[in-house]
Structure 1
Amino acid sequence: MKQQPAWKAVCDMAAVQTAQPESLRRFFEENFTPYQVTNPDNSSDGLITGYYEPLLNGSRTRTSRFRYPLYAAPADLLVVDLASVYPELKGMRLRGRLQGNRVVPYYSRAEIDNGVAPLKGRELFWVDDAVDLFFLQIQGSGKIRLPGGEMVRIGYADQNGYPYKSIGKALVERGELTLDKASMQGIKDWAKRNPGKLTELLDVNASYVFFRELPNQLSGPLGALGVPLTAGRSLAVDPRTIPLGAPVFLSTTWPNDAKPLNRLMLAQDTGGAIKGVVRADFFWGFGNDAGKYAGSMKQAGKMWVLLPKDYPLPQP
């Protein structure tokens, strides 16, 4: 942010701020203007969900227990920056592969899991649970506990180009789950009861995420800005609406509760399911407790983006 002229002054001031609450409050009140984020129909309510950093059990080699692979980005995956041809499509990229002299869509989840894609040798780790691997791809980052107890951190590397589709929504539409049970835990419980239907359900979401191993000394998983996320303070947003790096005041409620959850956040991440204007994903941190909050968070919320007082707003 500090490389952008509109943000340089406040970034320089932020670098010398003390951690005293009153000093920080004055910093934001004196140097920023809050703008409420509204939907195209002028409504101000939107959906606030949660995500977290899960822990999986895995191995660097395949065994009878660890048989579900986490792949690094494929060598044949093409990423085309559409803005280079169409400037109005800034931030949009097309993913695919070459077939002769044509660019065609990359392989879907079903094709990858069935071994159609040329991914042999791209395995980073093998894990013991297909459902946990699926949700790891939705979260975008996590940790893997190896058989000797060593913990390794993995993060998002790339994606196959397909839009995200909710398997929870699919189960509700099929009458397999009620809406109030379509949480992460509800889906995992359904999978245990219906192992024969699991593969077909997972294939509903053709989107597939590839990973990379990250340094263990990081304080948190890396977000879209390439900096570690902070539990309870980092927010995933749609960058077409809210600039990454901007402070965002969030007004929502705790998961499955009417208790207010109002706090200043930082827009530090994006997500395949985070599309829209008043739409955000709240980062809860690492582990089971964070997962319980993240998996049950589907709250209504309002958002205000804080911009520097001299920020050049677009003219209507």
Structure 2
Amino acid sequence: MNLFKKAQPYKKLYVFLNHALAACCVPLERILRTFENPTYPKPKTMNFRLKPAVVFTLLVVLGITFHNFTLPPQPGPAKPSPAPDLPTTMVLNTDRYGKVHNAQLHDDVFAQTDWKELGFPKFDEELEIALKNQLRVLENSKFKDGQKVGNLRVTYGQLKETIEILLQRVKEDPGALSQYLNAYQAWGGDKKGNTYFTGYFTPVMEVSSVPTKKYKYPIYAYPKELAEEGKLPTRAEIDGEGVLKGMGLELAYASNPLDIYIMQLQGSGYVKFVDTGAQKLFRYAGENRHPYRNIQRFFRNRDDISIGNLSLSGINRYLNQFPEMIDSVLFFNPSYTFFTPSTGLVKGAGMVPLMEGISVAADDRYFPLGSVLLAAFPVVENGIVKRHEFKVLLPQDVGGAIRGAGHLDVYCGIGKEGQRKASSLHHYGQVWLLLPKDDTAVALNE
């Protein structure tokens, strides 16, 4: 019986080899029969020498055959399954502004929270760019190694490692976050974990390079010589008494002093010169070091003034209706911000471009420039907080009005749309400072 007739998978191989050996005048069938039955007469041509090409062909084909039919593929080492993704939102029992009901008092500025209670946002390209920028913010910062941050002792290396862990490990497997980082909740402004979120933006306004009947309110550069001599003047002395007039510090002239005030609150702004057509970015250049007082308090302290909306847009409408009140309102705040002309993108104190919804201005005594924050950020619908979504926020700026561990000012963009978003944000959420686990803890989890 022919061996190849016992196994159907070898039929094609039989035909191929038979044709290959036919060139030597030795049918494969006769050779196989010889090995099956020793009594079968050997062919007269058995003392032939196989051609090298035929031998090589036989070896290759037989090698492939045995590999395919006798050596099934071996499975490789099993890869560890990724950790499950963390939730991206959380629902808290809060009031309409996002404050948690019946929250307990915190003993310290920062308290560690178990990751089982937290979540994390989707890691996208925008967040990756922002984190790479944050490395530059950290390099540009004046953070002192081992500096006290609230009740924590934090090193420069820890801040850098946090960013690198997020870029290298968490980007690939967000569920593994708890293996490498700890989350420390800030106690907020009320020491119950409620952090106040506001928004700021980059205004765009028209100015003139020379004073005119319409554009008559100066925007000033920082008075270095005066600062070296002693205390800088207040807002009332600068804008009311004109103590800086004639010192060559005028950068441009605006048509409305409230526009200048808003740009000072935001820290920078784009200006368009109506007389020259030029466009510039006026960046923050310093302050007069007088205490900041929110002009909203001016209205709250006046029983004779009725104003329904205390946002900047509401105050603007009121002052347009009662222009005689503008000096009294603005001079209530003695703090004053100076500018320097620049070009390019808007940058904060960290000297990197601000990114909408990620960059925040913070008090760097608690949230250092270059640190990474996880936030349960308020999602507002019709003025009411419906839920909170997890966001990564990056301290890349500072502000005179941002003080303490309970207030973050979120960058909201440029122009009217940025102003709209910033004006609508005055709600509460929660914030955690992310820091790496100690080396021992990380090693045990790997």
TM range (shorter): 0.7 to 0.9
Indicate the SS of the match to 1:196.
helix
What does residue range 72-111 of structure 1 map to in structure 2 within 5 Å?
72-78=221-227, 98=229, 103=230, 105-111=231-237
C-alpha displacement of 1:118: 6.0
Distance 1:70 1:292 in 2: 24
C-alpha displacement of 1:149: 4.4
| Alignment-derived partner of residue 290 in structure 1 | 418
Aligned partner of 1:162 among 278, 282, 290: 290
* Distance 1:281-1:177 versus aligned 2 partners, 3 A rule: farther
| Alignment-derived partner of residue 434 in structure 2 | 306
| Alignment-derived partner of residue 248 in structure 2 | 121
Distance 1:24 1:116 in 2: 59
| Alignment-derived partner of residue 327 in structure 2 | 199
| Alignment-derived partner of residue 158 in structure 2 | 6
* Distance 1:71-1:230 versus aligned 2 partners, 3 A rule: same
Say whether the 8 Å CA contact 2:163–2:372 is kept in structure 1: no
Aligned partner of 1:43 among 177, 192, 196: 192
The alignment status of 1:208 with 2:360, answered yes or no, reads no
TM-score of the two chains, using structure 1 as the length reference: 0.80
C-alpha displacement of 1:155: 1.0
Between the aligned residues of both structures, percent identity stands at 30
Query: Looking at CA atoms only, which structure, 1 or 2, has the larger radius of gyration?
Result: 2
The alignment status of 1:186 with 2:314, answered yes or no, reads yes
TM-score of the two chains, using structure 2 as the length reference: 0.58
| Alignment-derived partner of residue 85 in structure 1 | none
Q: In the TM superposition, what whole-angstrom CA distance separates every residue of 1:90-112 from its partner, at most 9, and x where no partner exists? A: xxxxxxx53xxxx4x32000111
Higher relative contact order (CA 8 A, sep 6+): 1
Aligned partner of 1:136 among 235, 256, 263: 263
Indicate the SS of the match to 1:134.
helix
Q: In the TM superposition, what whole-angstrom CA distance separates every residue of 1:90-146 from its partner, at most 9, and x where no partner exists? A: xxxxxxx53xxxx4x320001111212366211111111111111111111111122
Say whether the 8 Å CA contact 2:162–2:435 is kept in structure 1: no
Say whether the 8 Å CA contact 2:207–2:272 is kept in structure 1: yes
> Partner letter of residue 185 of structure 2?
Q
Say whether the 8 Å CA contact 1:284–1:291 is kept in structure 2: yes
* Distance 1:305-1:59 versus aligned 2 partners, 3 A rule: same
Distance 1:177 1:281 in 2: 27
Distance 1:136 1:162 in 2: 18
Say whether the 8 Å CA contact 2:159–2:371 is kept in structure 1: no
| Alignment-derived partner of residue 94 in structure 1 | none
Say whether the 8 Å CA contact 1:236–1:282 is kept in structure 2: yes
Indicate the SS of the match to 1:276.
coil
Say whether the 8 Å CA contact 1:169–1:182 is kept in structure 2: no
For structure 1, the 5+ residue unaligned runs are 79-96, 312-316
C-alpha displacement of 1:258: 1.6
Distance 2:287 2:211 in 1: 23
> Partner letter of residue 157 of structure 1?
A
> Partner letter of residue 112 of structure 1?
I
Distance 1:34 1:200 in 2: 45
Say whether the 8 Å CA contact 1:74–1:119 is kept in structure 2: no
| Alignment-derived partner of residue 83 in structure 1 | none
| Alignment-derived partner of residue 235 in structure 1 | 360
> Partner letter of residue 53 of structure 1?
T
| Alignment-derived partner of residue 257 in structure 1 | 384
Q: Which has the higher strand share?
A: 1
Distance 2:429 2:339 in 1: 31
For structure 2, the 5+ residue unaligned runs are 1-134, 140-155, 440-446
